[in-house]
Amino acid sequence: MSSPVSSSPAPAVVCVGESMVLITPTDACLADAAVASLTHAGAEANVAVGLAAAGHRAVWASRLGADPLAQRLTAELERRRVELWVEHDHDAPTGVMFKDPGVESSAVYYYRRGSAASRMAPGFLGSERLGGVRIVHTTGITPALSPSCLAMVERLYDDARAAGAVVSFDVNDRRALWSEEEAAATLARLADAADIAFVGRDEAERIWGTATPAAIRAHLPHCGLLVVKDGDVGATAFDGDAAPVFVPAPAVDVVEPVGAGDAFASGFLAATLDGEDLATRLSAGHAAAARVLTIAADLPPLTPVA
């Protein structure tokens, strides 16, 4: 990996998953655009960016190609103060994603089959590497990339816990990546086994037929802390056997919705690291999501370092 094991204190959070170059039209829809921006896309790295912006030491761990797109991604994440644990693959490319933005929803087009990240395999991060880390975060996108990535995520749960870390999992179902049957079973198993799990009420209804937060909790009874996000309605947290906690979402003039879920997770996890109570953690998630909902990019603009 490009970042050797350091003797300094461990990072607070390690986020594991694929990042791609995101190409977004800026002057028209994708079919008609003459101008586009090139930036970063990747759920787990988005969470790392949000945590770093909140003042926490965050790592993004993955694999990239040995190509200019990888250079662009690593430079972008380093500018955002994310630490990188990255392997470069000379035989597989960095993935690319196109987005066609819309207020209600955005169409996305992936060019990631056979990417360097899809070659992650069990033992990519061992328990020794994760020593001292407080939270290991990944999403349902990663196990959908390949059989080896699924096996890696399953092993990651064990390695994280052996290192004393909490496992955080965002369901983040991507219909284009695998069958509905495989997704439903695998995502339920991984979410239910997590210490902290995030899921959208709408995606849970789509893949599991669970229409309410209570039904989702019944479907995932073993997850330690389950957070159900319901768009502009709010979010409900189920912490063990305690009564659920609901916090309404603030009113936001939405420009584009992609990336808001990652931002919510980063806000919630940052407040978790700060030792806040559950309602405050949900509010922090909403506030982080609101900052992304008002822009057309997955990440807020860079702020100058003082």
**Catalytic (active-site) positions:** 262
**Count of alpha carbons within 13 angstroms of residue 128, beta-carbon side:** 5
How far is 197 from 33, CA to CA, in rounded Å?
A: 38
Give yes or no for a contact between 269 and 284, defined as CB atoms under 8 angstroms apart: no
How far is 22 from 304, CA to CA, in rounded Å?
A: 23
DSSP state for residue 255 in the 8-state scheme: S
Burial class (CB in 10 A: 0-12, 13-18, 19+), 147: exposed
Strands of the sheet containing 225-230, edge to edge, are: 83-89, 58-65, 13-16, 135-139, 166-170, 196-200, 225-230, 234-239, 245-248
Give yes or no for a contact between 276 and 54, defined as CB atoms under 8 angstroms apart: no
DSSP state for residue 231 in the 8-state scheme: T
How far is 213 from 178, CA to CA, in rounded Å?
A: 25
Give yes or no for a contact between 259 and 275, defined as CB atoms under 8 angstroms apart: no
CA-based max dimension of the chain: 54
